[in-house]
Structure 1
């Protein structure tokens, strides 16, 4: 019996329960559908589209090596899958369960012809629940409840054979989707190799010795850089978990954080647009020309705070930003500039190759203090102090070339040291002034 295998953010052949199940039943028609309608405002951003193009090309080649092929279609998922079922004579669709609200809605609409499998998490988020059966909204409680279900199951091997159908449905050409930037091509600094083979190679070379400390040091970028591979499902979380042996607990907690954020959006599907703490609906965010100009300066890396500007320029040039700097840059936008966290979330959604609905929304609300599990709004990061603490001098020199010749004694705050180059902007606002303004705004919430 021919079955369809519906790929989404699970673009791999190793440790793929849906693929294993489909291959066991007989001929398989693998399909990826580019549906820009179902996500609505959350259609994947420009940086992710670049990644998706290369990841699909890699997946297609891997399937061809197995004697199969990847069918590409564009349009509403429900309509396209119905057409493919009819064209192929298949009766069932196998797929990996997803937790974004538009995907859960699509899964429900497809009914009993869809057979869902868990495979993108350490433990399926719907299996890690509170005593009342709900999703955890506090990470520490989630991590504690997760422990009895760890370690995760061993990864599944790739099927030895993927049987082809007697007749293939028509496929669109990947190049016709125009996923790659052209006018202009801004991807020249994207130093990434998307695809499962690259992901597995990176996992094999993974060294998490010292991760707890090194991950906070931007100048050495001591993180795994696996986040886009995990987001697109080019490698499974449990494959990464087992590759670490009895490794660093901090690293494994980062893997579990992804499970946690999926649970949050399962419980609160509109978490990307609504404050987790409704009291913050009263926060008087800045608006108007001044706020728009400051937002633009932040996006371009022209705030006058070197650590913030280095991060924002790294993001624009490479589609990625060091995790510690993400928190500093987000805090600056929210607390120093008093600009709604959703503006930053949207920018990250369009410019990050690893932009993830759960991670993006939960992380922004954590920094903003508006989330169900978050920092207090009154905790305001000092960008200069953070830059000094985490020794970001070389990181700044790399991404802000105007400051390449500034010494260690002034690199974190050249304006205060009296050596700000003419081509580097003055600070948009002083730290003390920004802090007082933010606290005054927070007082209105209370």
Structure 2
């Protein structure tokens, strides 16, 4: 019987999976393969939260395959070597996988294609598995990618998405293809509030979001205390949810909330098409401002205060503590904490991006790095010198201080919006805030330093 290998990467699902559907055509047997790839080097591997979530996803994928008569084959090592071994063991003719955009993904694809062709085998790479619209599918007349989101979004919105594919009813895996044991969820270094992963939970969360969350999204997505975002980003990052299916289902709900949410999915695709065209943007300025950033050494105390949630600015500290506890952070909080580090403290954006990647369960090279660049003013923001004031942001998006009190217990007894400026408290309120640090920098001084560095003064 003809046999194909499906190499799972960031697409750990059975629903709406074009590589798996193509591999099963004609009644083929299939080797569903996941490789713990030893070739993925620092600084982008080894984050405990993502590894724990990945373990959940692999076990859930295996359970879904077993319910259909199959199983997941897990290997560790060099991805090209392990795929070729599985191809030989199964006597497979074809390998199917999803397209990806990073420099490493491009290298992996080239190496794999060359190795397979040398053995007379074929590699099929499928678009729109991890994106709704493929990178390069929409381009401006004068470039290979869009550098500004709004014109990209106009074209993106006009694209007809492919139809959603159902999950297979049966998957037959050939005998004789060995697998490692499935991993148990890693525990060391994992954030105590980390969510569980897997396609089953992702689909349940999506269904609940469509019923009771998306309609209010436009009005509430910046409400930090209300926690009114979808929290679907980890499931999209690991591909346990299909962005194509998500967009189709959200659009069926309709309304301003659905439109605003789909726009966020488009931002995800936008960053991927930027990185696909400029793979060096993962580590280098997309548009340099010739910054002479403070380094981790010269700004050591400020960087440590930021990481620990001890900057003296309550909304910044609340967000950083949420990140450490949950391995996740509200999107508005990501923007303001990044602006505080890169612009108010004038610290190299790569230091903050690495810290986020160390902890975020949805830590994603395209979104994380390019969002950091957007905030730092070295990326695609058309207003590169804007600075988000943490006091203004806190009062606007956490007006009653509920988000701060949730994550900063030193300030739990301070009522109302006064919690955002504890240094102004007096008497009993000041005593209640004992143990909370003074601000690490005066905001006006931080702004003046940044403006001088950018030649704005």
TM-score normalized by the length of structure 1: 0.94
Q: Does 1:189 align with 2:189?
A: no
Residue equivalent to 2:271: 261
Deviation at 1:289, TM superposition (A): 4.7
Residue equivalent to 2:204: 201
Residue equivalent to 1:239: 245
Residue equivalent to 1:93: 95
Counterpart pick for 1:277 among 284, 287, 294: 287
- Relative to 1, partners in 2 of residues 1:129 and 1:234: Cα closer, same or farther, differing over 3 Å? same
Q: Does 1:228 align with 2:234?
A: yes
CA contact (8 A) 2:49 2:190 kept: no
CA contact (8 A) 1:15 1:158 kept: yes
Q: Does 1:379 align with 2:381?
A: no
Residue equivalent to 2:16: 15
Deviation at 1:290, TM superposition (A): 5.0
Q: Does 1:434 align with 2:436?
A: no
Residue equivalent to 2:147: 137
- Relative to 1, partners in 2 of residues 1:53 and 1:283: Cα closer, same or farther, differing over 3 Å? same
Deviation at 1:23, TM superposition (A): 1.3
Stretches of structure 2 lacking an aligned partner (at least 5 in a row): none
Counterpart pick for 1:155 among 154, 164, 177: 164
Instruction: Spell out structure 1 runs of 4+ moving beyond 4 A.
Output: none
Q: Number of aligned pairs?
A: 435
**Distance of 1:195 and 1:399 partners within structure 2:** 27
**Distance of 2:151 and 2:54 partners within structure 1:** 34
Q: Does 1:72 align with 2:74?
A: yes
**Distance of 1:320 and 1:370 partners within structure 2:** 24
Stretches of structure 1 lacking an aligned partner (at least 5 in a row): none
Residue equivalent to 1:424: 436
Farther-moved stretch of structure 1 (258-267 vs 91-100): 91-100
Deviation at 1:288, TM superposition (A): 6.3
Deviation at 1:60, TM superposition (A): 0.9
Q: Does 1:406 align with 2:418?
A: no
CA contact (8 A) 2:296 2:351 kept: no
Residue equivalent to 1:390: 397
What SS does the corresponding residue of 1:199 show, helix, strand or coil?
helix
CA contact (8 A) 1:36 1:43 kept: no
TM-score normalized by the length of structure 2: 0.91
Over the residues paired in the alignment, what is the CA RMSD in angstroms?
Answer: 1.7
**Distance of 1:71 and 1:238 partners within structure 2:** 26
CA contact (8 A) 2:18 2:126 kept: yes
What SS does the corresponding residue of 1:73 show, helix, strand or coil?
strand
Q: Does 1:287 align with 2:295?
A: yes
Deviation at 1:164, TM superposition (A): 2.2
Deviations 1:56-103 (A, max 9, x none): 111111111111111111111111111111122112111111112211
Deviation at 1:132, TM superposition (A): 4.5
**Distance of 1:343 and 1:181 partners within structure 2:** 25
CA contact (8 A) 1:333 1:339 kept: yes
Deviation at 1:43, TM superposition (A): 2.4
Deviation at 1:267, TM superposition (A): 0.6
- Relative to 1, partners in 2 of residues 1:296 and 1:179: Cα closer, same or farther, differing over 3 Å? farther
**Distance of 1:171 and 1:32 partners within structure 2:** 10
**Distance of 1:186 and 1:198 partners within structure 2:** 19
CA contact (8 A) 2:324 2:359 kept: yes
CA contact (8 A) 1:367 1:375 kept: no
Residue equivalent to 1:3: 4
Deviation at 1:409, TM superposition (A): 4.0
Deviation at 1:171, TM superposition (A): 1.1
